[in-house]
Structure 1
Amino acid sequence: MFAEKNCHFFLLLLAGSTLVMANPVPGSCKLPNCRRPGTSIPGSLEASKIPQMVVLTFEDGVNSKQFKHLKEIFGETYKNPNGCPMKYTFFPTDIDNEYNVSSLLAGMGYELASHSLTHKVPPSAWSNMTADEFKQEMVGMKTKLTTHSNAKVAGARIPFLELGGDVPYQVFQENGFVWDSSMIAGSLTYQNDAPVWPFTLDEPVSKKYCAFGKCPKGSYPGLWEFPLNRLYNDKGEACSLVDRCELPDNTAGVLKFLRKNFYDQYYNKNRTPFGMYLHISWLRWSAIFDSAKAFLEEVAKLDDVYVVTVSQALDWVKNPTPLSQISTLPSWNCKQ
């Protein structure tokens, strides 16, 4: 009887400790290591006093043919207000990836993140993987990029954005990932809501901030989520990746879509990082690529817009810095 009572007491303590972990003490979640989901600007800074970040990402393997197109958005035209080159994040898979090319990108200061070895189909395979299967795919690609491209891999994006509950986040936390960018945020139709800032997974995330798939229910302290805020076309229809949106088949129409989302939902609101998420194969489709180039050239003329990698954007979120002091943020400074 004594042992049974002790056992019950232990279980109550364990349950209580789990509850505390999942629901941090009010005031205990503080930057730079913790941030709750929401639309408020980090550091309680005014929108007009902070940089508007643009985050351009490319999914899938990179090769020499694609690099020829990518070179069009490198160079003197594509610089940030501090004189440093615009930087982008690439999510290669092992399929069709030429590691000499991804190594070249890493050497130029572009970010590489894991997008799996095989990009296995059907998409539902990713929502039902075991931890060992997921680790083989995502950690396996991280290892290849580290070994063959000399890249520092901090993050990942799950193929098809097919979340698998807690399994992916357990694997990410146990294997040295700093961030994930797989959760979709925002309504399915345009509601004029402010987009969500990046947050940590210290407590279970609600459907408001994880709007698609099998969301995690556990707590992963210090693991960052860089959400894909939905964009909206003229009909008010939502999409998470630019090349998955229902858009006009011409540069002017796509550029109008980018401008409207950027200025109406980000630049003139809470200045959440504006995500332009593409599959690298769409570099061949001129309407998408030409509009992306034109958009980058347009924002390059603004003295408060910075095109940065996911990791650079998260560095700002962890260390909110006014525009007037942006030179003090080491990861944004190319002149050290």
Structure 2
Amino acid sequence: MRGVLNLKSEFLVHCQKEKEGEEYVCPEGTQGNGNFADPATCRRFYQCVDGYPYLNRCPSGLYFDDINKYCTFKAEARCGPIATTPAPITEAPTDLATKCDLAECQLPYCFCSKDGTLIPGGLDPEDTPQMIMLTFDGAVNLNNFDLYKKVFNGKLRNPNGCPIRGTFFLSHEYSNYAMVQSLAHNGHEIATGTISQQQGLQDKGYEEWAGEMIGMREILRKFANVSRSEIVGARAPFLKPGRNTQFKVLEDFGYIYDSSVGVPPLPIPVWPYTLDYKIAHECKSGTCPTKSFPGLWEVPFNAHYVETFEGGHCPYLDQCVLHNHDSNEVFEWLQEDFTRYYDQNRAPYMMPFHTNWFQIKELEQGLHKFLQWASNLKDVWFVTVTQALTWMTDPRPAKLLNNYEAWRCDKKDLPPAPCNISNKCALSFKHPDTNFSDTRYMETCSECPNQYPWLGDSGGTGIPGKDNYIPENLKRK
């Protein structure tokens, strides 16, 4: 009898497995390849390859967003399956930017191309330096500072002998400003995220955007000793640009570039471009600018992916599902993704990360193998975003770059070295959404403020609403 029961239970398990395999059917036709939501849970998704579904789980702490088709933070993820409908029109199509006019758009002040894939200066790919831009989002603190220092340990060098550098898009909460000052002193680029990383900022007005981004720039000036003139780039929270409003703030307050616009997976990657004309690719977020912002650069997020779509496609590298891979597989995945740039139009290869990537040893080790391999390739340069854009305004062949002024490492006007012993500030903080105060800790080489800096009070004076940001062009009137 027991044998019959065992056979029966094995039969039931077998049927259940068959049923689970049959539960998900990939869409037919050309739409059958790609990533699709698991109807049962937001933690998983199906990757369809030639009509066959492979079940994948999002990295720890992330959830599958069925609109953007990648794993992201829980508060951001829109669980599926979601029926595909055209995105709502959020702004009246008045004064829209016009299509790229190559006759009118001339470097160094303007750059565009019909599909975004053109190399500036008309250079051939083999004469074009392959730039790699390492970018890091969020707070810098004890959780990640030493991990970032391992990437920039001085061993990897560019063809001119300079150590490789990165760009940090800083958000305020939990940032250690003595560490940020150390990064700036070592030649890394400091750019702004936002103070609060709030959800829904894309729908807010001019004052909110100025408070978040210009306030963040002021915090970096006061507590990390990085001057305003050095902070020229910005990135919107969750890659949701603020339509025309955010870009008006960046234009008014003297920023050189934004890096928030996502590009869908394309066979040929897109180069950065100025916002003089209409964006030449689909806007992934649906909240891109529709007006012209002459001379303001956009450094877009080309989607990361491999030909089989193994691991999915993602704007941030830590949103691709590589956590089940060993370090060699991660290295090979990055190699294939990078080669799409190197073997084609050599658009700058941006490698954007959150701290998440460095918490998984296989991902960290795979990255180090990739960086070592890439640094040995001919004509590969690791540059900051501003260095990449400086080259784009005056493109010159790769063979002439060893003495290129903008990429040298002997700058004398870097931010001062951080102090030996930083001030550890225990500060009162009352979040606007709560009725109670708690204590926040902040480290800086500057004096401790009266209370935790926040929106409206970037100096931490304790006077709510003290900040009032007025663009320079209005101050003169």
For this structure pair, what is the TM-score category when the shorter chain's length is used for normalisation?
0.7 to 0.9
The aligned residue for residue 232 of structure 1 is: 305
Letter in structure 2 aligned against 1:220? F
Aligned: 1:61 with 2:139: yes
Match 1:199 to one of 269, 273, 283: 273
Deviates more, 1:310-319 or 1:288-297: 288-297
Displacement of 1:19: 6.4
Q: SS of the counterpart of 2:146?
A: helix
Aligned: 1:147 with 2:222: yes
The aligned residue for residue 296 of structure 2 is: 223
Letter in structure 2 aligned against 1:72? K
Match 1:98 to one of 172, 176, 201: 176
Letter in structure 2 aligned against 1:30? Q
Question: Could you list the per-position Cα deviations for residues 80-110 of structure 1 after superposition, in whole angstroms to 9, with x for gaps in the alignment?
Answer: 1110010101111001100000000000000
Q: Matched residues in 2 for 1:100 and 1:283: separation?
A: 21
Q: Matched residues in 2 for 1:24 and 1:243: separation?
A: 33
Letter in structure 1 aligned against 2:304? L
Q: SS of the counterpart of 2:144?
A: helix
**Rg comparison, structure with higher value:** 2
Match 1:184 to one of 262, 265, 269: 262
Is the Cα contact below 8 Å between 2:206 and 2:249 reproduced in 1?
yes
Displacement of 1:224: 0.2
Q: Matched residues in 1 for 2:221 and 2:406: separation?
A: 20
Match 2:333 to one of 254, 257, 263: 257
Deviates more, 1:35-44 or 1:72-81: 72-81
**Unpaired stretches in structure 2, ≥5 consecutive residues:** 1-93, 412-477
Is the Cα contact below 8 Å between 2:133 and 2:166 reproduced in 1?
yes
**Unpaired stretches in structure 1, ≥5 consecutive residues:** 1-17
1:209/1:317 Cα in 2 relative to 1: closer, same or farther (>3 Å)? farther
Larger helix proportion of the pair: 1
The aligned residue for residue 7 of structure 1 is: none
Q: Matched residues in 1 for 2:282 and 2:393: separation?
A: 19
Q: Matched residues in 2 for 1:209 and 1:176: separation?
A: 27
Q: SS of the counterpart of 2:409?
A: coil
TM-score, length-scaled by structure 2 = 0.62
Aligned: 1:291 with 2:366: yes
Q: Matched residues in 2 for 1:21 and 1:68: separation?
A: 44
The aligned residue for residue 287 of structure 2 is: 214
1:148/1:256 Cα in 2 relative to 1: closer, same or farther (>3 Å)? same
Question: Could you list the per-position Cα deviations for residues 161-183 of structure 1 after superposition, in whole angstroms to 9, with x for gaps in the alignment?
Answer: 01221111111111111000000
Letter in structure 2 aligned against 1:160? F
Q: Matched residues in 2 for 1:274 and 1:324: separation?
A: 19
Displacement of 1:214: 1.2
Is the Cα contact below 8 Å between 2:119 and 2:271 reproduced in 1?
yes
Is the Cα contact below 8 Å between 1:99 and 1:148 reproduced in 2?
yes
Q: Give every structure 1 segment of 4 or more consecutive aligned residues whose post-TM-superposition deviation is greater than 6 Å.
A: 18-21
Q: SS of the counterpart of 1:169?
A: helix
Which runs of structure 2 are paired with 1:311-326 in the superposition (5 Å)? 311-326=386-401
Match 1:36 to one of 112, 122, 128: 112
Q: Matched residues in 1 for 2:363 and 2:100: separation?
A: 43
Q: SS of the counterpart of 2:353?
A: strand
Aligned: 1:50 with 2:50: no
Larger strand proportion of the pair: 2
Question: Could you list the per-position Cα deviations for residues 87-140 of structure 1 after superposition, in whole angstroms to 9, with x for gaps in the alignment?
Answer: 10111100110000000000000011101001113xxx1221111111101111
1:166/1:21 Cα in 2 relative to 1: closer, same or farther (>3 Å)? closer
Q: Matched residues in 2 for 1:230 and 1:297: separation?
A: 23
Displacement of 1:294: 1.3
Which runs of structure 2 are paired with 1:113-124 in the superposition (5 Å)? 113-121=191-199
Question: Greater relative contact order: 1 or 2 (C-alpha under 8 angstroms, separation 6 or more)?
Answer: 1
Match 1:72 to one of 150, 154, 171: 150
Q: Matched residues in 2 for 1:39 and 1:243: separation?
A: 25
The aligned residue for residue 319 of structure 2 is: 244
Which runs of structure 2 are paired with 1:294-309 in the superposition (5 Å)? 294-309=369-384
The aligned residue for residue 249 of structure 2 is: 171
TM-score, length-scaled by structure 1 = 0.87
Is the Cα contact below 8 Å between 1:164 and 1:213 reproduced in 2?
no
Q: SS of the counterpart of 1:296?
A: helix
Q: Matched residues in 2 for 1:256 and 1:24: separation?
A: 37
Matched length: 310
Q: Matched residues in 1 for 2:295 and 2:102: separation?
A: 16
